[in-house]
Amino acid sequence: MAEFVKDANFQELVVDTTLENRNDEGPMTLQNFTKLMVQFYEMGWMRGSGGAMGCISGSELMISPSALQKERIREQDVFVYNITQKTEVQRPLNKRITVSSCSVLFSLIMKETGSECVIHTHSKSANLLTQLIKSDTFEISHQEYIKGIYDPFSGKALKYSDTLTIPIIDNMPSESQLLVRANKRSSRQSSPSNRSSRQESRTFCVGTDLGVNQDHVSDDFI
């Protein structure tokens, strides 16, 4: 793929210093990033080379590499970009390693929703859900766990009686092709939510930061 720094959505991405309700666990670091990759692998969220994550920490955007075993990713394998200067800060020494093909989807979602963390996971439950539901959205309400999902547009977490809406987008052979459909869906979406692609367990979990995003992931997208 072309250099990510030239991606149109990355070029328009800005650092939001006004966000409240930030995670209190401290800033994302490369060490924490790689530890999470191992944790996600062990929990079955990112098996083998499948899955990816993009996180904003300060003025930097960290994105996992493509085609590497998630449980073996090292700090030097992570791609790091400066959002303000629109530059590549770090890339793996091995030139054959490329940034995740989900990077263009991450930048789109971050730009459109203000999210600081996006996780791409292959969830069996999400895949099954898209096969059973024929509409382009999945909605659920009166479930205890949706109270852990924060809506940055309203500034509040969802209530037990609220309705969580998950868009389902028909999948495409590659992320770059899926970008067009995701872009159209983003323009129609009034609030952020998890996104799942039909025909494959390709799910994007969106959160204002890692802490919020882990709440989303722990719900297994349902």
C-alpha distance from residue 187 to each of 9, 69, 222 (Å): 14, 34, 23
Residue 11's closest CA among 121, 96, 87, 100?
Answer: 87
Q: Would you give the DSSP letter of residue 64? A: P
CA 91 to mean position of chain CA atoms: 20
Catalytic residue among 88, 139, 144, 200: 144
Residues 169 and 180 sit within 8 Å (Cβ to Cβ): no
Q: Decide if 12 is catalytic.
A: no
**Sheet with 137-141, side-by-side order of all strands:** 87-90, 79-82, 60-63, 52-57, 117-121, 202-207, 195-198, 163-170, 137-141
Residues recognised as catalytic: 144
